[in-house]
Every structure is written in C-alpha cells, then in structure tokens.
Amino acid sequence: MGRRTLHDEFFKRAKAEGYHSRAAYKLKQIQESKGLIKRGDRVLDLGCAPGAWLQVAEELVGPEGRVVGIDLKPARGAFGAGVIHRVGDAFEESAESLMELAGGRFDVILSDMAPNTTGVNDHERSIALCQRVLELAIASLKPTGHLVMKVFEGGMYKDLLDSTAMCFAQVKGYKPKASRGVSREMYVIAKGYVPVGR
C-alpha cells in the first residue's frame, strides 16, 4: 500500500499562490466546470475555515460582491471589506442573521463542511450536515440561486440528491480533480433554486 501523499501538487500550489489550503482548487474547479459564482454576487460559505474558499469566492465576486463565512473555527488571514467571517455553528445560526450580514438573500451557498471522521457513521453525520445546509438554503437563497455542498458517499447519497432535486432545477454529483483519489467526498452541485410556497 502506498503512503498517502500529504504534500501533493495542490498543496504545493496553494502554498506558492497564497491560498490557505489546497481546498481552494476544489472550488476553482467547480467554478470552472459549473460557472456558479458571478461578480457582485452574495455568497455564503458554511464551514469556511481555514479560509481558502473565502479567498476564491472573494476573487470571483469582486469588490461589489459580499461573502459571508461561518465555521466552528476562525478563518485565517486578511480579507477585503466585502468578506465577513465569524465563529459560529451552522446548526445554531439563523438564516435571518446570515442574510443580515450579507445585506439580503444569497446568490450562491457553499458548504465544505464535514464531520470529524472517526470511521463510524461518517456518512450519516455528513448527510445530517447537508440536511442543515438545505434548510438554510431554502430559507436564504434567492430564486434561481445555486448550492454546492460536500457529502461523504454512502447508502443515503441518492436520497440526498433526490431531496435536493425537489427544490432545484438541476442537481448532479461532482468530484473535482483536486479531491484526493482515496477520499469518499463528493460535491452536490444544485443549480436554479425553485422556491416552493414562498
């Protein structure tokens, strides 16, 4: 069995290009493939620490956009005036408080959240995080807005896709090349939010 390569191509690129982690390239590849984030957008980043997705989102929305990040741990580094991040729990934060920080509903919601992996019920706990992300999306996303959320693959993965498809025009799984080959992580890409009963 080969050893897991910790300092791979994306780790080295992140260090050279000033990103807080290799995860920056996952969002960059999602954006290149799906084109979700536009200049001037309001973006919510759930599970934003250490801050690599905040950095990429800030680049994409430009100075006229707004990026709000929340995580149990603080994000690192300096950001522009359009980025607000704070320590908090996605299960305790209300959609209203997050929208207040952004100045309105979100165009795009991102979630790179994952449970602390123990090898026991990782998939189920990952699904629970995604269900909370969906709740926040339904309460705070603009009509036609987009959602990206990380999940660990397993038996409940198809049910998650089906429940997401109930309120989005297009839903697909996507694994960026920057994800480690051995990782069970997958990103659910949901485009075109369709509010129900709003």
The active-site residue, picked from 15, 26, 142, 150, is 150
Whether 172 sits among the annotated catalytic residues: the reply is no
**Measured distance CA(151)–CA(6) in Å, rounded:** 21
pLDDT of residue 182: 66
Residue-number span of the structural domain to which 150 is assigned: 25-193
pLDDT of residue 180: 66
Is 7 within a domain? no
Is 14 within a domain? no
pTM comes to 0.90
pLDDT of residue 5: 46
pLDDT of residue 45: 98
Is 113 within a domain? yes
Is 165 within a domain? yes
Is 1 within a domain? no
Contacts of 100 (CB under 8 A, 6+ apart): none
Cβ 168 vs Cβ 191: under 8 Å: yes
Is 10 within a domain? no
CATH of the domain at 60: 3.40.50.150
pLDDT of residue 24: 87
Both tokens assigned to 173: 């799984």
Is 37 within a domain? yes
pLDDT of residue 20: 57
- 70-76: long-range contacts (C-beta < 8 A, 24 or more apart)? 70/44, 70/45, 70/46, 70/98, 71/46, 71/47, 73/49, 74/49, 75/20, 75/48, 75/49, 75/50, 75/51, 76/20, 76/49, 76/50, 76/51
Is 139 within a domain? yes
Mean pLDDT by groups of 10 residues along the chain of 198 residues:
50 58 88 97 96 96 97 92 95 96 98 81 92 97 98 94 96 86 86 84
For tokens 């699904």, the residue is 127
Q: How many domains does the chain have?
A: 1
